[in-house]
Structure 1
């Protein structure tokens, strides 16, 4: 073998050793390992990542997540934090509403009605199924005609006569045939005076489903207001977003009177926030700010009116704030203390983020392990369309399922900091040492070739 071929061979060996050492990742390189159980038809499996598992990651983009098989081989995977939405349009529609009457002694029952409707299902007239004597009828609630709206209903906006101040609570039910009703939870509207200002709450969130008719039944019929305007906001999207997942309670710190801060475990795209109001009869206008790190200025995220009031022996609570979904790691709540504040101690909070799905292609024998918690590795996830060549939203729903099975296995943060990261640094030092020695060896051989006298003919 000539000296030139030897040089080429040595260079290839050195680069091969370097690439092999860099690409070889094992579950032991990550601070946390979670056993997985798979079911259904493979070879692709989708996993709903629990929030407490996501918070074990060291990277905000979850770039340090990996899936390994029983032999410790990494699996190809993709992350879906929310399905791609090709379009989204919001429409605000004025709808008709009809009063629902009941007899005074039957206010606990849903009113029985008879209706007249047009050929397309639009309501023309709504009357009680039985004739009520004058003075016996009680306004129980309202029937809303949403038959002209074909998109999922996102929000209900009400207005009512000013004679009814205070809080009004009601149940929300949906139907497509006026016979079978599905509960959509409860709603609440409010109109009250606070510090010489008028505070009103008109909007009620809906679950984002379609329905032809809505029924609002007041909890206290004697306080049911007379509606003057009803609007429904609908949203048309190519696909629905992932559901929200909520955190455990998180303690905060009080900076000064009326200001509280919280440190999140990592940078997160927070979309909702619940503030624990420990004291009854609390009323607090608030503004919320956030930032990614302490060196950055606070950015406004939103605000609203938080309250916990006792009415008719029951607590009426509004403790949730909607956020724009920006990435934040620190939150600050500023309270207008004209309402009495919410206490000297910082309240606990719960935050919600969109669920994250991990889809992996099973290769090799199981059981499979989810590993995460290594700030030095590079992201290795593929696009869904690459992982699944004929990917579609419909196909995603038919994939096999993977679930977290058993406790999270790993070491504490302090242990990982001193054990895992130095191990990765030693690998880097080893790679550089191999490459440097190879270069020196090549230089030495080249120098010896230059000094060698030419062979005499």
Structure 2
């Protein structure tokens, strides 16, 4: 029995050896990453920021940038967090001068402005050209004899197209500021303000007491603003509730524009590949366009750059996924998965070119994008624009400088930490004011050529050693089995002789 126990023990230990060999400890050193980018910092700040450039997104090999590492000079990884700040833009304030049109009439007017019927003529662009008062047949733009005794009754104001802003950033007027009446150093009156979008329907939105008081020294005390809740309008009418109507030297609208809070995005333009090269040919349709991209790109918007002068290009935008095949003879098949349908265009009309803009989509990571034209006869091959908001890498400048940003490893585990654990207590304003590291030249290591990190290569080597070891062990088992069979025969022969 002791002779059989030793070989059995050796066999058990040998069988356990492959388990340890197949699960080596994963390495995590700068040499395990395909790319490196030196980071230059002043060394004066403990927390530093670095906005990730396009090269990082194109070279990284994980969708969520799990393969980012910040190493110091000794190869020690430094804590970092990925931060995508929300834009905080203060409102923009501006002033727009009004074009003033006085209305003169013989009749009395009141705060509602209904006693004087006016006729307003405009140009094709909407600007006011003239104002005619029907009551008394007089106006501020008529040189007739019956205007001699006409008096000022109200003012029509045109602030121009700029008063409305644009579609994305509409302007809102929150106050009017008045210049002192012409030729008057002392003045006091109560005015009402009416606004209109079409010069037909008027709404009263505010009133104010306007006054200018000048002393013997030439100093003026003025109450020259009419404030109201922010409104969007182009035309206004000023009516006197109390006091003598007067022509003001100027009237300016104080506007408030809220800038768009859309984040600043980067855009990568990609030309289509002529042929699919990753095994999707079987499911690919004729006319489809394949665009290789980086898996790390967090795409939020897509756009097309069309070269044809007049083209309407309806498409389905998506990607291919590999699924178990439903057809016999195949284990898997490639299926087109649409993300969105859209119509892109470029049309020249009246010497003006109209182009489709960027299309917003839910954030996606795709190594390849596919455009499937919905018009089978389409031959356009536009460039695809992928837009994303670049993240800011916030890292703790500890250890031993200088620092290096390493990336490019498909099997990396995530090490990004919450921002509160890298920059605890930092306000959004402080984060926006962080020192920004400067990137050096992108460096490529031997891992980039093989496509695998040192850890992956070590794992493959360990796997190969495991197969060799299994072969040796199986051979050993066969030898031990032969020895056992021979020993059993010898024991049996000795037993027969004893009998």
Normalised by the length of structure 2, the TM-score is 0.50
Preserved CA contact (<8 Å) 2:164 2:170: no
Alignment of 1:335 with 2:373, yes or no, is yes
Aligned-pair distance for 1:34? 0.4
Among candidates 43, 48, 52, match of residue 49 of structure 1: 52
Among candidates 266, 274, 282, match of residue 311 of structure 2: 282
Counterparts of 1:54-65 in structure 2, within 5 Å, are 54-65=57-68
Deviation track 1:131-174 (CA, whole Å, cap 9, x = no partner) reads 9995757425746679xxxxxx9x65xxxxxxxxxxxxxxx774
Preserved CA contact (<8 Å) 1:248 1:350: yes
Aligned-pair distance for 1:400? 2.4
Preserved CA contact (<8 Å) 1:242 1:355: no
Normalised by the length of structure 1, the TM-score is 0.54
Alignment of 1:370 with 2:399, yes or no, is no
SS in structure 1 of the partner of residue 294 of structure 2: strand
Equivalent residue for 1:309? Answer: 347
Preserved CA contact (<8 Å) 1:37 1:368: yes
Counterparts of 1:161-180 in structure 2, within 5 Å, are 174=171
Equivalent residue for 1:273? Answer: 302
- Aligned equivalents of 2:233, 2:33: Cα separation in 1: 53
Deviation track 1:52-100 (CA, whole Å, cap 9, x = no partner) reads 222211111111110111222211111225669xxxxxxxxxxxxxxxx
SS in structure 1 of the partner of residue 395 of structure 2: strand
The change in CA–CA distance for 1:42 and 1:428 in structure 2 (over 3 A counts) is farther
- Aligned equivalents of 1:56, 1:173: Cα separation in 2: 40
Preserved CA contact (<8 Å) 2:410 2:452: no
Among candidates 108, 122, 126, match of residue 139 of structure 1: 126
- Aligned equivalents of 1:366, 1:246: Cα separation in 2: 33
The change in CA–CA distance for 1:270 and 1:137 in structure 2 (over 3 A counts) is closer
Equivalent residue for 1:4? Answer: none
The change in CA–CA distance for 1:427 and 1:258 in structure 2 (over 3 A counts) is closer
Preserved CA contact (<8 Å) 2:315 2:372: yes
Counterparts of 1:30-429 in structure 2, within 5 Å, are 30-39=33-42, 42-81=45-84, 112-113=98-99, 134=121, 138-139=125-126, 142=161, 174=171, 242-253=263-274, 256=285, 259-266=288-295, 268-291=297-320, 297-337=335-375, 341=378, 344=379, 346-405=381-440, 407-411=441-445, 415-417=449-451, 420=454, 423-425=457-459
Aligned-pair distance for 1:369? 0.8
SS in structure 2 of the partner of residue 323 of structure 1: strand
- Aligned equivalents of 1:46, 1:58: Cα separation in 2: 22
Give aligned pairs, total. 302
Equivalent residue for 1:445? Answer: none
Equivalent residue for 1:192? Answer: none
- RMSD of aligned Cα (Å): 4.7
The change in CA–CA distance for 1:288 and 1:114 in structure 2 (over 3 A counts) is farther
Preserved CA contact (<8 Å) 2:33 2:445: no
SS in structure 1 of the partner of residue 66 of structure 2: coil
- Aligned equivalents of 2:434, 2:464: Cα separation in 1: 42
SS in structure 1 of the partner of residue 55 of structure 2: helix
Aligned-pair distance for 1:276? 1.6
The change in CA–CA distance for 1:379 and 1:133 in structure 2 (over 3 A counts) is closer
The change in CA–CA distance for 1:112 and 1:334 in structure 2 (over 3 A counts) is farther
- Aligned equivalents of 1:135, 1:380: Cα separation in 2: 65
Higher share of residues assigned strand: 1
